[in-house]
Amino acid sequence: MPQVRDRRIGVLFPAEAIAARNAAMAAEIAAAGYRDLLVVAVLKGSFIFAADLLRALHGAGISPEVDFISLSSYGAGTVSSGSVRVVRDIESDVAGRDVLLIDDILETGRTIGFARDLMLERGARKVGLAVLLDKKRPRAVEADHIGFVCPDVFVVGYGMDAAHAFRELPFVGVVED
């Protein structure tokens, strides 16, 4: 079990499995028929996943434009506040375009649902949702493209953090102690 910052981290999804799933997701996305695609990565948690998935999309023959939005519902804690706010907005015009939102984890669906509704309000033709992890819970929003179904535990690594720590890990894990 890896030890980082004097904490034991149990590995849920190793780097090799994530890389293989990114390639498979890119093929699924390529087959989904998106046109004039704008990929919007939801920061901060998705930044590593988004970068790897974008490279996999290139390998699958897709050349999207890329933008970033930063949304917050957690702050420095581990429990959502229940409200979503835009910290940094996209610069691209989405009117008439297909948008693929990339996020790290789908739990309540509040954050990605907020982003989807925002893109649709701005005139996006179609908005797809790609998430690395899906914690299967009752919610109003479902992802179109899912990396892994995740147990209902607080995860870190591969861009996801606990109070701004552990984002650099090349795997998805759980802090054990």
For 44-92, how does the pLDDT look when each residue is reduced to its tens digit (9 = 90+)?
999 999 999 999 999 999 999 999 999 987 555 555 557 899 999 999 9
Q: What is the pLDDT of residue 60?
A: 97
What is the pLDDT at residue 77? 52
Q: Which amino acid appears at position 101 of this protein?
A: L
Strands 145-149 and 126-134: parallel
Give the pLDDT of residue 105.
96
Query: Residue 78's pLDDT is what?
Result: 52
> Which amino acid belongs to residue 80?
S
> Residue 136's pLDDT is what?
92
pLDDT score of 34: 97
All residue ranges of the chain with pLDDT < 50 are none
Q: Where are the domains of the chain?
A: 16-148
What is the residue whose two structure tokens read 């998935």?
53
Q: Do 28 and 145 touch, CB atoms closer than 8 A?
A: yes
- What is the structure's pLDDT at 75? 54
Tell me, which fold does domain 16-148 have in CATH? Rossmann fold (3.40.50)
